[in-house]
């Protein structure tokens, strides 16, 4: 018996690692059955046996023996004179099973089968990848960097599936090279030109939340709830946590002994500064905690317009605003309130360091004043405009604007 040898064809499918043996057999059987139905009108009387391991396939055609001249359908019936050539003892009414030979199929049919097989398996693989990663949206995965481009990074997972990490989803301090291992969260999965495109993210709040679940058992077990996360990726993040068990300190548990738990997360996020805050439904207290490490003197809330006026000592203002303004920006996002910070100068003769005005005056301008020995507000106001212009490299309009800002501090 001559089986249809498919070793060469099967060898091309070795790259499809995610197809189970049973699935491969089903696909092969479906493709050949479709071809037989097209060739003979019906494939119901064919038995198809696939041997993936050996790389061959057997097709048996089953027909009923009828008297010569009584054949109505050659596909399901065979003349007695033909049947006894296969087995002399055959009689009318018995069933004959014949193995299909390679010569029974034309070159064009074999080529069509091969192309159809490849197309079917590729389609299965694409659908399999799509379904697999749709279920993983929001989960952290690890992969190896395969290619680094200007706008995105191509990552391969442990099964060789291609994943994409766009530049917009990378932390700005990320610097990956081919062969590096990276972790990211699956952000979304989309079909593009009938191909699944798996998009990863390292900048989403979900990534930070999953990292906490991995590092803090109490979060993973649900003993500590993450109420909200806001991030400026690579710079700063604030995370509000709560525990319904009074015996658990949610902030302490998330940070760990001497920061042991949070250090791993900070390293993963390229030294992103993470503030862990106790959640409370008391808005004023929550805003106060969100502005940490700054300490406020008082706070006035406008709940209708969701605005908060926060008053604090001059030396706390720069802490509240933070480097690059990230602290106050994230505090606003976390609380859902627009926060306005005001200096609380209860003591009339209290002086203020110029560095406390960095939110209103550029640092290079402050440096000009410090270079001539004026490092506080009152030391600048003690000199007139002409003297300040003469001793610094600043324009008169700039000096006047600085004086206006400083005077407003003491009004």
Instruction: Say what the pTM is.
Output: 0.66
Q: What is the pLDDT of residue 198?
A: 96
- Respond yes or no on whether the N-terminal peptide bond of residue 346 is cis (omega within 30° of 0): no
Asked if 338 contacts 308 with a C-beta cutoff of 8 angstroms, the reply is yes
List of the chain residues with pLDDT < 50:
1-5, 7, 14, 347-348
Q: What is the pLDDT of residue 98?
A: 84
Residue 15: CB atoms within 10 A of its CB come to 9
Q: What is the pLDDT of residue 13?
A: 54
Which pair of tokens denotes residue 169? 């989803």
Tens-digit pLDDT profile for residues 260-289 = 999 999 999 999 999 999 999 999 999 999
State the architecture of 207-279 in CATH terms: 2-Layer Sandwich (3.30)
Q: What is the pLDDT of residue 291?
A: 93
CA 284 to chain centre: 34
What top-level class would CATH report for the domain 139-201? mainly beta
Q: What is the pLDDT of residue 56?
A: 67
Q: What is the pLDDT of residue 347?
A: 47
Asked if 213 contacts 183 with a C-beta cutoff of 8 angstroms, the reply is no
Could you give the CA distance from residue 178 to residue 202 in angstroms, rounded to a whole number? 18
Q: What is the pLDDT of residue 236?
A: 94
Closest CA to 182 of 213, 147, 215: 147
Q: What is the pLDDT of residue 272?
A: 93
Tens-digit pLDDT profile for residues 14-25 = 455 556 667 777
User: 283-290 and 326-335 are packed helices; what angle lies between their axes, rounded to 10 degrees?
Assistant: 150
What top-level class would CATH report for the domain 4-131? alpha beta
Asked if 161 contacts 145 with a C-beta cutoff of 8 angstroms, the reply is no
Q: What is the pLDDT of residue 99?
A: 83
Query: Which residues, at least 6 apart from 271, have a Cβ–Cβ distance to it below 8 Å?
Result: 173, 234
């Amino acid at each position: 018996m001559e089986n249809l040898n498919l070793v060469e064809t099967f060898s091309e499918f070795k790259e499809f690692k995610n197809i189970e043996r049973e699935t491969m057999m089903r696909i092969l059987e479906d493709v050949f059955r479709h071809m037989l139905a097209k060739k003979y009108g019906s494939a119901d009387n064919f038995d198809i046996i696939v041997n993936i391991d050996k790389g061959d396939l057997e097709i048996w055609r089953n027909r009923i023996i009828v008297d010569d001249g009584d054949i109505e359908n050659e596909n399901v019936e065979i003349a007695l004179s033909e049947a006894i050539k296969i087995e002399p003892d055959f009689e009318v009414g018995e069933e004959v099973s014949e193995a299909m030979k390679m010569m029974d199929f034309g070159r064009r049919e074999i080529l069509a089968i091969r192309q159809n097989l490849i197309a079917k398996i590729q389609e299965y693989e694409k659908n399999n990848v799509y379904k697999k990663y749709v279920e993983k949206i929001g989960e952290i995965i690890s992969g190896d960097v395969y290619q680094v481009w200007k706008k995105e990074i191509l990552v391969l997972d442990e099964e060789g599936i291609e994943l994409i990490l766009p530049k917009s989803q990378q932390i700005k301090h990320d610097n990956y090279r081919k062969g590096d291992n990276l972790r990211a969260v699956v952000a979304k999965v989309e079909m593009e030109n009938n191909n699944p495109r798996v998009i990863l993210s390292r900048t989403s709040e979900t990534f930070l939340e999953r990292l906490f679940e991995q590092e803090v058992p109490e979060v993973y077990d649900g003993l500590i709830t993450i109420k909200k996360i806001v991030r400026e990726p690579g710079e700063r993040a604030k995370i509000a946590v709560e525990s319904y068990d009074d015996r658990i300190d949610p902030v302490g548990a998330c940070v760990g002994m001497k920061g042991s738990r949070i250090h791993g997360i900070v390293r993963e996020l390229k030294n992103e500064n993470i503030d862990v805050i106790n959640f409370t439904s008391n808005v004023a207290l929550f805003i106060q905690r969100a502005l940490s490490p700054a300490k406020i003197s008082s706070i006035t809330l406008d709940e209708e317009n969701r605005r908060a006026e926060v008053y604090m000592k001059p030396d706390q203002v720069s802490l509240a605003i933070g480097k690059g303004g990230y602290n106050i920006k994230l505090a606003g996002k976390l609380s859902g309130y627009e926060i306005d910070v005001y200096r609380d100068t209860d003591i009339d003769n209290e002086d203020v360091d110029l560095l406390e005005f960095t939110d209103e005056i550029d640092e290079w301008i402050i440096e000009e004043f410090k270079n001539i020995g004026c490092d506080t507000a009152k030391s600048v106001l003690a000199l007139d405009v002409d003297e300040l212009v003469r001793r610094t490299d600043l324009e008169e309009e700039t000096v006047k604007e600085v004086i206006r800002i400083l005077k407003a501090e003491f009004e």
